[in-house]
Amino acid sequence: MRDYKKYKLKFNPYLDKLYNSDKSLIIYKVTNGYNIYTDFSKKIILNNNNINSFFKFFNNKIFKKETDILIGFFGYEILCNLIGLKIKNQKKINFYKGIFYKPETIIKIRDKISITSNIKKHKFKDHFNSTKILSPFKSNISFEKYKKIFDLFSKKIRKGETYQIKICTKYKNKSQINPLNFFWKLMKVNAAPESFMIRDKDYSIVSCSPETLIEKKGNSIITKPIAGTLKKNKKTSIKSAYRFFKNNIKETKEHNMIVDMERNDLSRICKPGSVNIQKEKYVEEYKHLYHYVTSIAGKINKNVKIKDIVKSMMPGGSVIGCPKIKTLQLLNEQENEERNIFTGSFGYIKFNKDMRFNLIIRSILNFKNYSEISAASGVVLDSQATKEFNENYIKAKSLLELFK
């Protein structure tokens, strides 16, 4: 292990070389900066056959240094499969169900830059990633089709089959992107707390996710569900947004439901009486919008395994609807295109079983020369189809702008 000299953020020759190389790398936003993970010595591509051995990988592992960590993502489908739900008859692009990487080098960008690496000599091969936009963005669902699903779900709510359900819209274009370029551009305007980027040989992901699904240290676990979105304009402020959410019955009800659902998901793995709301209903500000957030914490039961935590918390309830199982079944019957990474989770598991995972929303997946951006908004009883359809567009907007 070797600590490199600390460089200033600008003109860092190591980072410059890394960015312009063909190396796979991952960037993850942290509170006061970014962590970059690279020099992957292991890459685990998840499928239904190896997922159990993936969870067992952490048994008997000892956390000695910061690189003792696996970082990557679970796609939506594998998370559904884990809780016993099969998805049939969807259009697929055959993207990976999930991938985790073992880094040998971690670069921390704070006020200064520090590099921790198990590799003695760093070699770089120049590689130029160009951005090419080959077709305009197209939505995969027309308003008419959206309205049809919306009305069907409204009926299901009346019958009590679901209380809230989120319909996904996908925007797609033909393009190649330079993910680093896109990511740093995005961070200038919208450095959301769960932002991340993955650059691998055959795909990339750029995300400004605002939502923390799991923050686990020792036996403490926190989740911070978001439910409630308000579009920004010149007149709005954090205060007025708070008033809006508080006085808006529809937003409040939607939020309450998610809070009780997340309390439930934590309770499944936590000690009785330990699940508490830490901070109830506060507003976070983003470039184009405001979000309504609550943070909930608990203490994990002794014999709970990583797999139990994943199965209980994922796919994250706030982007699915409620109750989770029935709503997932309804969604999977109606959505005709695979969600891929959307509403999956990105994050890491350390060898001491500490973890951090987000909800993959507000993200671009570039694969096989296509970029896709997904967004979802909720149907509850008082929703209007036009408004929710447009909300999906607002959510995707800061990502769509990167292609301009």
Calpha distance 179→204 (Å, rounded): 6
Position among 49, 89, 94, 160 found at the interface with another protein (CB under 8 A): 160
Position among 380, 396, 399, 402 found at the interface with another protein (CB under 8 A): 380
Calpha distance 166→383 (Å, rounded): 11
Q: Which two tokens stand for residue 204?
A: 């990339």
Query: What character string, x for contact with another protein (CB under 8 A) and - otherwise, covers 49-68?
Result: --------------------
User: In whole angstroms, how far apart are CA 353 and each of 28, 55, 381, 386?
Assistant: 18, 10, 40, 44
User: 282 forms bridges with which residues in the sheet?
Assistant: 293
Q: How far apart are the first and last CA of the chain?
A: 43
Position among 75, 317, 344, 347 found at the interface with another protein (CB under 8 A): 317
Position among 113, 115, 261, 359 found at the interface with another protein (CB under 8 A): 261
Give just the sign of the alpha carbon dihedral 389, 391, 393, 395.
Answer: negative
Work out whether 277 is an interface residue with another protein (CB under 8 A): yes
Find the shortest distance in angstroms from Cβ 107 to another protein.
Answer: 40
Position among 260, 279, 285, 387 found at the interface with another protein (CB under 8 A): 260
Query: What character string, x for contact with another protein (CB under 8 A) and - otherwise, covers 194-233?
Result: ----------------------------------------
Closest to 55 in 3D by CA, of 300, 349, 357, 303: 349
Cβ 225 vs Cβ 262: under 8 Å: yes
Cβ 17 vs Cβ 123: under 8 Å: no
Find the shortest distance in angstroms from Cβ 303 to another protein.
Answer: 16
Closer by beta carbon to another protein, 13 or else 272: 272
Phi and psi, residue 141, nearest 5°:
-145, 130
Find the shortest distance in angstroms from Cβ 308 to another protein.
Answer: 12
Work out whether 302 is an interface residue with another protein (CB under 8 A): no
Which residue in this structure is represented by tokens 């990339």? Answer: 204
Q: Identify the three-state secondary structure at position 37.
A: strand
Closer by beta carbon to another protein, 210 or else 378: 378
Calpha distance 74→44 (Å, rounded): 11
Find the shortest distance in angstroms from Cβ 369 to another protein.
Answer: 39
Query: Which part of the chain contacts another protein (CB under 8 A), choosing from 166-174, 178-186, 267-275, 336-344?
Result: 267-275
Query: Which part of the chain contacts another protein (CB under 8 A), choosing from 22-30, 43-51, 268-276, 389-397?
Result: 268-276
Closer by beta carbon to another protein, 177 or else 259: 259
The set of residues, in sequence order, having a beta carbon less than 8 Å from that of 302 and lying 6+ positions away, is: 219
Q: Give the total of residues touching another protein (CB under 8 A).
A: 35
Work out whether 166 is an interface residue with another protein (CB under 8 A): no
Find the shortest distance in angstroms from Cβ 181 to another protein.
Answer: 40
Q: Quickly count: other Cβ atoms within 10 Å of residue 30's Cβ.
A: 13
Work out whether 102 is an interface residue with another protein (CB under 8 A): no
Calpha distance 37→24 (Å, rounded): 9
Q: Which residues bind another protein (CB under 8 A)?
A: 157-164, 252-257, 259-261, 263-265, 267-268, 272-273, 275, 277, 317, 322-327, 380-381
